[in-house]
């Protein structure tokens, strides 16, 4: 790992994934344990703990850690961490589990063994507790008050719905992961572990690596962000989510094809790497931007590209709130405890007809009418409706793949444009 940024937490990569004889013994033992099916979000969290992506976490959080993360962006030992990583069960399931018990964790369908867990604590999550977590994690500067937030969030924010619908009891404790799910087989060469990316970065001679978070096919703005990063770093890691999204988003296998086509035609291969990771989106905006930077540090990245409305949804967050939050988080002075991966903050980007190229608010002096506002949401809306995509929005090779996908859908999907996707200017105070 020489030359690359150290994994988060100061303990190296904390990998809970078993192998060899230890793996077979754990699988055999699991057959005699009480079985719990986890949610899709918890499955992704488990796999990330298995491969070291969530270093230094080695299990699901206690109530004390949950509260400290919500309030202060810290674990109880003083390590920076931005979002709770918890496991919930129903009251009925919890009634048969006591501290000290071992349980087997199955995939959401209850078919595949993912991990075993030694329960060290179980604690209630009342409706008040869940609302508290939602307000701390999901309520950004796009809503003026908790009252305004809840008027919309309960019905329109998938991350909020995820928390409010989870079980009423949380289980805490270390895990022993036995499976990476379907990802290695489904995305060969794309699904990469932190150990694998660090090895590739070293082979390429990279030290200063920027990560681009993607949940949409790459359009010209994404391409421009990557090329800015390549100019100031050794390389860029295009890291796309291959876990679950919300209804109407484009499936991972389609996005992977689009990204690969764009990289092949428009990037210098020695300065770019495309990979995938197994999490579900939480749509937590600024808090999720911090999580993205935290686990990208574990993958070996020293910078995280943060553009406008990073990991956002609707109008819940200020357009650049995901950038400014990095200036407000704690930076513990104990070795390894602070977030080392820094944001690469880039202004609103677009194609400008008068500039005759990609530009940003920092570089383009022209009027809004001269610009083609770019967003993944707008692109999905154009393609889903069968409308013509504006010139300079993206590359023909990508559109060909996307038109093939949308042409094969049995029904059109309604896509709602929000403020950021419509390319509106940054609101005052954000």
DSSP assigned state of 17 = B
346-351: Cβ within 8 A, 24+ apart: 346/225, 346/228, 346/305, 346/306, 346/307, 347/308, 348/307, 348/308, 348/319, 348/423, 348/425, 348/426, 349/221, 349/224, 349/225, 349/307, 349/374, 350/221, 350/374, 350/423, 351/220, 351/392, 351/393
Q: Identify any residues that bridge with 174 across adjacent strands, giving them in sequence order.
A: 59
What's the CA gap between 55 and 310, in Å, rounded? 22
From residue 423, alpha-carbon distances to 368, 369, 393, 404, 420 in Å are 9, 11, 13, 26, 5
Whats the size of the chain, residue-wise? Answer: 430
Instruction: Choose the catalytic residue: 215, 282, 303, 371.
Output: 215
Known catalytic residue at 215: yes
Q: What string of DSSP letters covers 143-171?
A: SSSHHHHHHHHHHH-HHHHHHHTS-SEEE
User: SS3 for 18?
Assistant: coil
Which residue in 77, 106, 75 sits closest to 89, CA to CA? Answer: 106
Known catalytic residue at 58: no
Which residue in 104, 103, 57, 100 sits closest to 81, CA to CA? Answer: 57
Instruction: Choose the catalytic residue: 170, 216, 298, 315.
Output: 216
Structure tokens at 339: 């977030």
What's the CA gap between 83 and 72, in Å, rounded? 10
Which residue in 265, 269, 267 sits closest to 395, CA to CA? Answer: 265
Report angle CA 252, 256, 258 to the nearest 5 degrees.
Answer: 120
Which residue in 92, 162, 88 sits closest to 122, CA to CA? Answer: 88
Name the residue with tokens 């206690």: 62
From residue 147, alpha-carbon distances to 153, 154, 157, 186, 313 in Å are 10, 11, 15, 43, 18
Helix residue spans in 276-373 (DSSP H)? 286-299, 321-324
Judge contact between 376 and 217, C-beta under 8 A. Answer: yes
Residue positions annotated with a catalytic role: 215-216
């Amino acid at each position: 790992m020489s030359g690359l940024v150290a994994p988060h937490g100061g303990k190296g990569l904390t990998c809970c994934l078993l192998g060899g004889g230890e793996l077979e013994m754990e699988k055999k033992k699991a057959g005699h344990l009480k079985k719990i099916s986890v949610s899709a979000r918890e499955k992704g969290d488990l796999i990330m703990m298995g491969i070291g992506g969530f270093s230094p976490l080695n299990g699901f959080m206690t109530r004390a850690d949950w509260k400290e993360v919500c309030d202060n962006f810290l674990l109880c030992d003083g390590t920076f961490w931005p979002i709770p990583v918890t496991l919930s069960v129903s009251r009925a399931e919890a009634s048969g589990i006591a501290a000290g018990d071992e349980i087997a964790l199955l995939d959401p369908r209850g078919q595949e063994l993912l991990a075993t867990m030694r329960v060290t604590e179980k604690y209630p999550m009342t409706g008040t507790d869940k609302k508290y977590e939602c307000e701390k994690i999901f309520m950004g500067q796009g809503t003026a008050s908790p009252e305004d937030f809840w008027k919309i969030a309960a019905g329109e924010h998938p991350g909020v719905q995820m928390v409010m619908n989870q079980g009423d009891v949380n289980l805490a404790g270390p895990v022993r992961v036995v499976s990476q799910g379907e990802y290695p087989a489904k995305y060969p060469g794309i699904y990469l572990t932190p150990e694998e990316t660090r090895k590739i970065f070293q082979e390429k001679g990279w030290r200063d690596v920027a990560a681009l978070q993607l949940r949409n096919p790459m359009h010209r703005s994404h391409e421009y962000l990557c090329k800015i990063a390549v100019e100031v770093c050794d390389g860029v890691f295009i890291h796309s989510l291959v876990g679950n999204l919300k209804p109407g988003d484009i499936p991972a296998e389609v996005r992977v094809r689009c990204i690969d086509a764009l990289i092949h035609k428009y990037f210098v291969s020695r300065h770019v790497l495309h990979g995938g990771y197994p999490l579900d989106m939480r749509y937590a905006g600024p808090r999720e931007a911090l999580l993205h930077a935290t686990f990208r540090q574990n993958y070996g990245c020293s910078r995280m590209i943060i553009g406008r409305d990073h990991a956002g949804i609707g109008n819940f967050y200020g357009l650049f709130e995901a950038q400014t939050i990095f200036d407000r988080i704690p930076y513990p002075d104990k070795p390894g405890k602070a977030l080392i991966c820094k944001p690469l903050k880039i202004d609103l980007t677009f194609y400008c007809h008068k500039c005759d190229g990609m530009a940003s608010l920092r570089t383009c002096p022209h009027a809004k009418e001269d610009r083609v506002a770019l967003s993944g949401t707008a692109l999905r809306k154009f393609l889903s409706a069968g409308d013509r995509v504006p010139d300079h929005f993206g590359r023909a090779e990508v559109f060909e793949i996307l038109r093939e996908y949308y042409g094969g859908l049995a029904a059109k999907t309604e896509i709602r444009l929000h403020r950021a996707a419509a390319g509106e200017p940054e609101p005052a105070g954000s």
